[in-house]
Amino acid sequence: MKKLALICGLALSLSVSALAQTGSINGTVSDPNDAVIPNATVKLTFDLNGEERTTTSSDVGDFSFSALVPGTYTIRVQAAGFRPMERKNNVVLAAGRLAVGTLQLEVGSVTESVMVTAQGAGVATTTTAQSAVIDTKQVAMISLRGRDPISILRILPGVQQGVDQDTFGGSFSTPVPAFLGNTGRNTIYVDGVNGGDGGNGGGGGANFSGATNIDAIAEVNVQVSSYTAEFGLKGGSQINLVTKHGGQEFHGSGYW
């Protein structure tokens, strides 16, 4: 019984950690008169490697994709009697929920199609979380002496200035700077795995022992407060380091 409880507890903790790194997409399918379209086929394609997922709209026209790796996706919607619609450049962030709104299909032949390119939202309307994101371009352009991803956190508002070490990971771990004056209750993840060491009762974010070179980081997502329950652990800031994923072409980087 104790062994079973331990396994269940470990599985639960891993699933919560995974939620801290993945995002989701949801929306609604309708016709030109704004009437919902049930049973429409919705296909989601991850632009980086071509991975596909498919679902159908519900009786009220809604669809949802969860546990999505951060990145850019293409949505294609098809229904009998309507032109297929393709919506590109849908960017999913770690611990983010992307609402694409209503995807309106036009009446026509299935041999015709409508293509739409998504525009980045200036204001997040689907969450009340106080958060900040450092994207792939920013990670690549910012110079760090020790190639330590913790050093990049210093550019975020409300973060105490830390030490830019000569080598990532230091001799044992990297001290994590304070977020709004809080250190011991932060939680720091690398692809869903808790990389923090120390803090209140252990497992906190006072130190980062999961050394990861900055060249392997695709995105840094920090949620300071007002995040939903599935993203919390110790009540402090949630720091999510998302590493780069494999694509369809060979690529790499180097430095001296």
Query: pTM (2 decimals)?
Result: 0.63
CATH number at residue 90: 2.60.40.10
Is 134 part of any domain? yes
Instruction: Identify the CA nearest to 48 among candidates 17, 97, 86, 90.
Output: 90
From 80-89, 94-103, 121-130, 152-161, the region with the lowest mean pLDDT = 121-130
Is 249 part of any domain? no
Same domain for 135 and 111: no
pLDDT over 60 at 203, yes or no:
no
- Domain housing 25: 11-117
- What's the chain's Rg over C-alpha atoms? 21
Same domain for 96 and 15: yes
Same domain for 135 and 74: no
CATH number at residue 188: 2.170.130.10
Of residues 198 and 94, more confidence is placed in 94
Same domain for 139 and 113: no
Same domain for 110 and 58: yes
Helix (H, G, I), strand (E, B) or coil at 252: coil
Same domain for 107 and 200: no
Is 2 part of any domain? no
The whole-number average pLDDT for the span 216-224 is 83
What is residue 128's predicted lDDT score, i.e. its pLDDT? 55
- 177, 160 in Cβ contact below 8 A? yes
Q: How confident is the model at residue 122 (pLDDT cuts 50, 70, 90)?
A: very low
Same domain for 16 and 106: yes
Helix (H, G, I), strand (E, B) or coil at 98: strand
The last residue of one of the domains, among 96, 117, 138, is: 117
List strand residue ranges (DSSP E) for the chain, in order: 23-30, 41-46, 52-56, 62-68, 71-78, 85-92, 97-104, 114-117, 130-134, 174-175, 187-190, 193-194, 196-197, 207-208, 217-225, 238-243
From 1-5, 47-51, 175-179, 252-256, the region with the lowest mean pLDDT = 1-5
What is residue 93's predicted lDDT score, i.e. its pLDDT? 81
Same domain for 55 and 88: yes
Helix (H, G, I), strand (E, B) or coil at 14: helix
Is 77 part of any domain? yes
Is 252 part of any domain? no
Same domain for 224 and 140: yes
Same domain for 107 and 21: yes
Is 253 part of any domain? no
Query: Cα separation of 194 and 17, whole Å?
Result: 7
Is 87 part of any domain? yes
Same domain for 113 and 136: no
Query: Cα separation of 27 and 100, whole Å?
Result: 5
Is 98 part of any domain? yes
pLDDT tens for residues 74-102? 999 999 989 999 999 998 887 778 899 99
Single-letter code of the amino acid located at 7:
I
Q: How many domains does the chain have?
A: 2
Same domain for 142 and 211: yes
pLDDT tens for residues 221-254? 888 776 766 666 666 788 888 888 776 677 676 7
